[in-house]
Amino acid sequence: MILYLDTSALAKLYANEPGSGLVRGAVQNAQLTVCHLIAYVETRAAFAKKRRMGEFSEKEFSLCKSELERTWQRFERMSVDETLVQQAGNLADRFGLRGCDSVHLAAAETLFRVAGPAVEFRFAVFDDNLRKAAIDLGMMPLEE
């Protein structure tokens, strides 16, 4: 299975939240786990926000950040290019998504199309709008 993690799913690998067990199990079982480069900064920002809001102690913040740093290189990482950005813009128009969510959707769709129908592909996402858009494009979300 190829597993694409958007930021909401990537953060669940490190922070104990609803869905964390599902994502951790899927990553263990995937032959290939892929993220877009923007997931790194978005995840770091999410951890910092949790610390500012009092949802993370300093220790929890440090542990999650350290674990992300330790494991980030294990993932295949997609980068930004002109084609992907334009595709993301079209998807933002079509589905009414935020910018970074559109980039994740464009990256996942690109990977899904390249993998082809013979390869099991799952999009790990916990944002309802992004999930619905992925389903509309033919991708299967990660589910329990």
Instruction: Record the pTM.
Output: 0.94
Interacting residues of 33 by C-beta distance below 8 A, sequence separation 6+: 2, 3, 4, 5, 27, 74, 75, 76
Structure tokens at 72: 């980030």
Would you list the domain boundaries of the chain?
2-141
What integer pLDDT is reported at residue 120 of this predicted model? Answer: 95
pLDDT at 144 over 80: no
At 63, the pLDDT band (50, 70, 90 cuts) reads very high
Q: Concatenate the DSSP letters of all residues of 30-52 into one string.
A: -SEEEEETHHHHHHHHHHHHHHH
Architecture of domain 2-141: 3-Layer(aba) Sandwich (3.40)
- What is the share, in percent, of the chain residues with pLDDT greater than 90? 97
What integer pLDDT is reported at residue 139 of this predicted model? Answer: 97
CA 130 to centroid of chain Cα atoms: 11
- Over range 110-128, report the average pLDDT: 95
